[in-house]
Structure 1
Amino acid sequence: MAIKEFFDIPARYKKWSMALMGVGVLSVIVGFILYGTGEEHGKRFWATMLQNSTYFLLIANAAMFFVCATTLAMGGFQMAFRRVSEAISVAVIPLGIIALVVLIALCVVDPEMYEWLHPGNDKLLLGKKGFLNSGFYIIWTILTIGLWIVLGAKMRKLSHELDNNPLPDVEAGRKYIFKNSVWASIFIVWFGLTAMSVTPWLWLMSLDAHWFSTMYSWYTFASTFVAGLALITIFVVYMKNQGYLEYTSEEHIHDLGKFMFAFSIFWTYLWFAQYMLIWYANIPEETIYFKSRVTTNHSKGAYTGLYWFMFCINFIAPILILMRRGSKRNYTTVTFMAIVIIFGHWLDFNQMVFASKFPEHVELNLFDFGVAAGFVGLIMYSTGRAMAKYPLLAKNHPLIKESIIHHT
């Protein structure tokens, strides 16, 4: 069977990605004019930039985590569409640069976002100064994003090595798999030290510097990983509809649907565990986090509607729709749910940031959606270029046959 090796970017795809990026740039400019100055207005601008830059960076990086995790698990099923996951991870480069600028600006340009930057006589904040200080924040942020980019590039380079250089024998295949596993392990370890632990504490949880949760990083990981799986699914279905990925079948789509379903439940488990423990203990230093999010008193529950709407999108919709086998094999249903999941967890990040800095509530407006559209366009543009640059099938990989004959 003749296959289409390279992605020929359609004119409509280019137009949409450029248009969305244009909307994003315009939104940032207009948003800075409207909200970029003054203590409260400044926080409004930077809160939107923080939410979007961290969220889209983390879901793009989740694609490389998926590649590395399945590599270590010897999961051959994903080889038929692995190049899509790798292409999405290329977006970590521009998204990482944008996030780095935003995060450092929060320390240098607008230090009002993080109250630990000016602790005054606050004993609690002074007690956390060894961890919550601008020097560690900036250095760790640079290391986090820098190594995500470098290690991701190394994994992609190893994948592309075989495109024109078939492995001569079985022993060479074993060595290649071992080398892949070593670098995937390094990425997973660094990912665990950053996205699964320290980094969400610094970037997001420290917005409420007096509050803490030992489950916070796992919660943000679950949120961005299921959204990352949804992003992979959208691109895989799109490529199938364009006549590419000939060896990717509804069996592979079914597995992606199962992943989205499973990790939606995992996210809900973490959501419930964090909320239930804080509710049951009823310790004031902990419950303050939920006062603006779930209480019914208007002055203290300004984000209650958004919070429960986000919960319905991220849990009730996936469990009702994706539980059936047929729905996970239906391209339209899976794509619809992928879009819903990405939007739902974007709302989750919105309440995580805004309810911490604006407890009296800030309404979503065109500025927020415009900035989000810009990041979507950037992911489309970066991923499209990456898929056009290299073959869409890792044809000489030792596990490619397993993926082609895969069934569930």
Structure 2
Amino acid sequence: MGTHNHHHDYNFSEKFQFAGIGKILSLLGIAVGVIAIVIGLMSSDHIMVERTYANLLLMGYYFTCVCAAGAFFVALQIVTQSSWSAGLIRIPQAMSSILPIASIILLIIVGLGLYSHNLYHHWNADGITDPNSPNFDKLVAGKSSFLNVPGFLIRQIIFMGTYSIFAFILAKLSYKEDLEGGLNSYKKSFKLSAIFLVIFGFTTPIWSFDTVMSLEAHWFSTMFGWYNFAAMWVSGLAAITVIVVLVKKAGYLGWVNENHLHDLGKLMFGFSIFWAYVWFAQFILIWYANMPEETVYFYKRFEPEYKPWFWLNIILNFVAPLLLLVDRDTKRKGNIMLFVSILLLCGHWLDYYVMIMPGTVDMHRGFGYIEIGTALGFVGLFTFLVMNKLSKHPLGAKHHPLLDESLHHQL
């Protein structure tokens, strides 16, 4: 491979200029989102208001998950001492740096969902845990030591607060490494990343149980946490890939090549299969056992307005990446990787849609501007915040101890 130092061939101090059409489109997306949400919330139709809250939860959770996946990516690369990703680490760092903002938005949404408009009515309705109330639900009352408003909010604050603190410190240490050089910051990052990964691994399933599974409090699945983790991780990888390809197209990241794209493609391919494995395992066990208390979850999703989405979910998130990324050459082409990544981001939006809507909207009979507008608003917000953050620091981690290996990376 050779050991020639290529540092002088590239300008690692270059900064991304966030301007022009990208910035305009992101601000336009935010404006469209705000208008759609305001119209939905001001509607006199109860179902429209329900749909708006459900879409806010969907996109708030998705936004936070993708940012958390950025933090997970950074920590994972440090602990595994992966060299291939050293040249593009600034992108997941930018995603993880806006995790505090995403977390605050999600906290506001779940707070409103609990108090002003009851998204979590399956376990938070009046009298549901009171034996003397006509609304008493014995099953939910049995879970009330875990499913209660103070416990729910405290867990949300602890989980998202912890993820945000680690994401912030890891990014800060990396930028400090740029200024000081040496291994001091990297060694600190290694220890912190190891601690973060243990915390993240044990708490993300509980976070998904709270935020999404408790929307249908009678039903539970021990696989649900890993199913959500797989969706989060694939979505995060797809977001990183989209940004890498678009930033390269804009003339930056000259040191990132098809070998790095290939690695991102392999991860998306592998974890799309893992996502499908967990999805299938959860589905087939419940379908085969045919227990009424379990099958009710899938029965709802087999109703006419959800059934096409239910099967399209599998096509977008398993069949498409399987067929499009199985070939070596396709994983090395920027345009194909961009297409597959956008397809997967849309696919996992649909995945969360199928998870959230049937349990939150009692009489869902529509798909329209609320769903599309809310999604565009959050995509615009994510783009604006991440790209703005990316423009604040050099694109190259010039003192990363494994950068040389990243420059020589070949597959």
TM-score of the pair, normalised by structure 1: 0.93
Q: CA deviation at 1:27?
A: 1.3
Distance across 2 between alignment mates of 1:49 and 1:390: 31
- Equivalences for residues 103-122 of structure 1 within 5 A: 103-111=110-118, 113-118=120-125, 119=128, 120-122=135-137
Report percent identity of matched pairs: 36
For residue 3 of structure 2, what is the aligned residue in structure 1?
A: none
1:281 aligns with 2:289: yes
Aligned partners of 2:362, 2:109: CA distance in 1, in Å?
A: 22
2 CA distance for matches of 1:41 and 1:388?
A: 38
Alpha-carbon separation, structure 2, partners of 1:162 and 1:138: 36
Q: How many angstroms apart in 1 are the aligned matches of 2:391 and 2:119?
A: 43
Deviations 1:146-205 (Å, cap 9, x if unpaired)? 2222110000011111112121xxxxx2x544321111122212322332x211111110
2:310 to 303, 307, 310: 307
Give the Cα separation in 2 of the matches to 1:388 and 1:111. 39
Q: Deviations over 1:328-364 (max 9, x none)?
A: 0111110000000000010111111112234654322
Q: Which residue is 2:104 aligned to?
A: 97
Select between 229-238 and 96-105 the one with higher mean Cα deviation: 96-105
Aligned: 1:356 with 2:359: yes
CA shift at 1:41, angstroms? Answer: 4.2
Alignment of 1:76-225 (within 5 A): 76-111=83-118, 113-118=120-125, 119=128, 120-167=135-182, 173=183, 175-195=184-204, 197-225=205-233
1:369 aligns with 2:397: no
Task: Please state how far the C-alpha of 1:292 moved relative to its aligned partner.
Answer: 2.0
* Distance in 2 separating the partners of 1:238 and 1:309: 27
- 1:319-330 maps to which residues of 2 (within 5 A)? 319-330=322-333
Opposite residue 91 of structure 1, the aligned amino acid is: I
Q: Does structure 1 conserve the Cα–Cα contact (< 8 Å) formed by 2:174 and 2:185?
A: no
Larger displacement relative to structure 2 (183-192 or 221-230): 183-192
- Kindly indicate whether residue 68 of structure 2 is the aligned counterpart of residue 61 of structure 1: yes
Take 1:86 and 1:138, find their aligned partners in 2: how far apart are those partners?
27
Deviates more, 1:42-51 or 1:79-88: 42-51
Q: Which residue of 2 is the match for residue 49 of structure 1? A: 56
Superposed displacement of residue 45, structure 1: 2.0
Alignment-derived partner of residue 131 in structure 2: none
**Cα pair distance change 1:362/1:94, threshold 3 Å:** farther
- Hey, what does 1:393 align to over in structure 2? 396
Cα 1:359–1:289 shift into 2, 3 Å: farther
Which position in structure 2 is the counterpart of 1:267? 275
Q: C-alpha deviations, 1:32-74, integer Å up to 9, x for none?
A: 1126x74x44422211111111012101210110111111111
- Secondary structure of 1:219's counterpart equals helix
Query: TM-score, normalised to structure 2's length?
Result: 0.92
Backbone CA RMSD of aligned residues: 1.5
Retained in 2: the 8 A contact 1:302–1:360?
A: no
**Separation in 2, partners of 1:104, 1:358:** 18
- Identify which of 294, 298, 319 aligns with 1:290: 298
The one-letter amino acid paired with 1:253 is L
Residue 31 (1) aligns with residue 40 (2)? yes
Measure the CA separation in 2 of the matches of 1:164 and 1:176: 10
* 2:52 partner amino acid: F
For 2:380 and 2:40, the matched residues in 1 are separated by 18
Give the structure 1 partner of residue 344 of structure 2: 341
Classify the secondary structure of the residue corresponding to 1:243: coil
150-159 or 349-358, which deviates more: 349-358
Counterpart contact for 2:173–2:186, Cα < 8 Å: no
Distance in 2, matches of 1:124 and 1:103, equals: 23
Paired with 1:26 and 1:333, the residues of 2 have a C-alpha distance of 33
**Long gaps (5+) in structure 1:** 168-172, 295-299
- TM-aligned CA deviation for residue 91 of structure 1: 2.7
Contact 1:327 1:334 in 2 (8 A): yes
SS at match of 1:269: helix
1:233 pairs with 2:248: no
Query: Which residue type is aligned with residue 8 of structure 1?
Result: Q
Q: In structure 1, the residue corresponding to 2:391 is in which secondary structure?
A: helix
How far did residue 94 of structure 1 move? 2.2
| CA–CA distance in structure 2, aligned partners of residues 108 and 21 of structure 1 | 26
Residues 86, 406 of structure 2: 8 Å contact kept: yes
CA contact 2:230–2:275 (8 Å) conserved in 1: yes
Name the residue aligned to 1:404: 407
Mapped to 2, the partners of 1:326 and 1:101 lie a distance apart of: 44
What code does the residue aligned with 2:391 have?
A
Q: 8 Å contact 1:354–1:362 — kept in the other structure?
A: no
* Mapped partners of 1:260, 1:15: distance in 2: 29
Distance 1:374 1:254 in 2: 31
Deviation at 1:2, TM superposition (A): 4.3
Q: Number of residue pairs matched?
A: 394
Contact 2:40 2:49 in 1 (8 A): no
Q: Aligned letter for 1:284?
A: P
Q: Are the equivalent residues in 1 in contact too, given 2:55–2:371 (CA < 8 A)?
A: yes
CA contact (8 A) 2:120 2:214 kept: no
